[in-house]
Copies of this chain bind each other. A is one copy, B any other.
Amino acid sequence: MYAVPGDKKVKVGVLGATGTVGQRFIALLETHPYFVVHALGASARSAGKSYALGTNWKQTTPIPAGVRDLVIRPCNPEHFQECAVVFSGLDADVAGDIEASFRAAELAVFSNAKSYRRDLNVPLVVPLVNPHHFNIIPQQRALHSPPLQKGFIVTNANCSTTGIVIPLVALERAFGPIESCIITTLQAISGAGYPGVPSLDIFDNVVPYISGEEEKIEWETLKILGELAQTDGEFAFEMHAHTPLRVSASCTRVPVIEGHTETVSVRFARRPAPSPQQVREALAAYAPAVQSAGCPSAPRHAIWVHEEPDRPQPRLDRMFQQGAGVSVGRVRQCPVLDIKFVVLSNNVNIGAATSSIINAEMAISTGLIAV
């Protein structure tokens, strides 16, 4: 069924395995049809312990049986040589060097860290949006010294960017370029990792600031929605420069455990702008390439459009489709721009671990990784 030959299992490694995103990788992979967790990497403090003993497990399902007794390794490529895929949930302060060393060791790295998102040769891929940006990878390999045969790094986007670009790409496909977009985010505490946000800061409170977050949304959106242009045989991300897109984000932290809610207003280049009903239909109809490629973790509905006036809501909707799609609701006219709506995305799943997993599935499906 899936584009994996036969019943072959694919060994994967997880870096930052004891952290919030690492734990979610492990929980999600438990039931994966072909990925099998084979190696776990974490800081020296945990290395050498069994996963069960070395991890302060915070998921609401038990540690998968096949992972409990795996010994945690230091984040050194030698321990991951058998892994066809390496998922990284490393913190940004260490991810840069470690991920580079894994790539240099000819490993395929799918990273949640921000270290390489702005790299001119690393694709920043939201799997429901722009897996065609994988096309830069041969150039990434070629520019490495020495040139690589198999190693590469793919990053996924910041969690709050992810929720935005999925509906935006659907709208651009249907109605042409978007000119401007104003966003306010209401982000969950799990987005800050563990220990993350002190309870005294966020109980009965809103913190209207997340360091660096607005800049990420405003910049990453351009890289993801822009084209991968080819000039004289050289690939470059054009950053939506052909039809300039202005993005303005205001980011807040709210007392919610999981699920980022975002209010969005957009203005289209095309006049007249599409109606709310046309927008609803375009969102619901959006079919990303990862679906037709048979990626098993791709959601059946990339975008679920709610008709109820008070949805989506993080507590009720964040686990729909295992958190692999996004929910959109309240599509209506904006008196200032054209259309406004509300998006909900699961920041730990499609906003982090699930995106990496689908990216890896897509890399296998397209032959970027041979299995």
Contacts and interface: CB of A to CB of B under 8 A. Distances in A.
B257 A182 contact: no
Contacts of A248: 265, 334-337, 340
Interface in A231-255: 246-248, 250, 252, 254-255
When all copies of this chain in the complex are counted, the total is: 4
A249 to B, nearest CB: 9
Contacts of A265: 182, 248, 250
A312 B190 contact: no
Contacts of A196: 198-200
A206 B182 contact: no
A66 interface: no
Nearest to A315: B205
B252 A263 contact: yes
A64 interface: no
A58 interface: yes
A184 B250 CA distance: 9
Contacts of A337: 182, 248, 336
A179 to B, nearest CB: 9
A65 interface: no
Given A197-B198, A265-B248, A206 B334 contact: no
A261 interface: yes
Interface in A151-179: none
Given A189-B199, A334-B248, A204 B314 contact: yes
Contacts of A61: 319
A313 B203 contact: no
A316 B208 CA distance: 12
A207 B56 CA distance: 14
A330 interface: yes
A285 to B, nearest CB: 20
A358 to B, nearest CB: 22
A256 interface: yes
A180 interface: yes
Contact of A209 (B184, B202, B310): B310
A329 interface: yes
Interface in A313-331: 313-316, 318-320, 329-330
Contact of A313 (B62, B206, B218): B206
Interface in A252-287: 252, 254-257, 261, 263, 265
B206 A204 contact: no
A218 to B, nearest CB: 6
A353 B139 CA distance: 58
A181 interface: yes
A21 to B, nearest CB: 13
Nearest to A189: B199
A337 B336 CA distance: 10
Contact of A250 (B203, B218, B263, B312): B263
5 contacts: A59-B316, A60-B319, A184-B184, A203-B255, A211-B309
Please list the 7 inter-chain residue pairs (A to B) with the smallest Cβ-Cβ separation, ordered nearest first: A195-B198, A184-B184, A250-B263, A205-B315, A209-B310, A199-B199, A248-B336
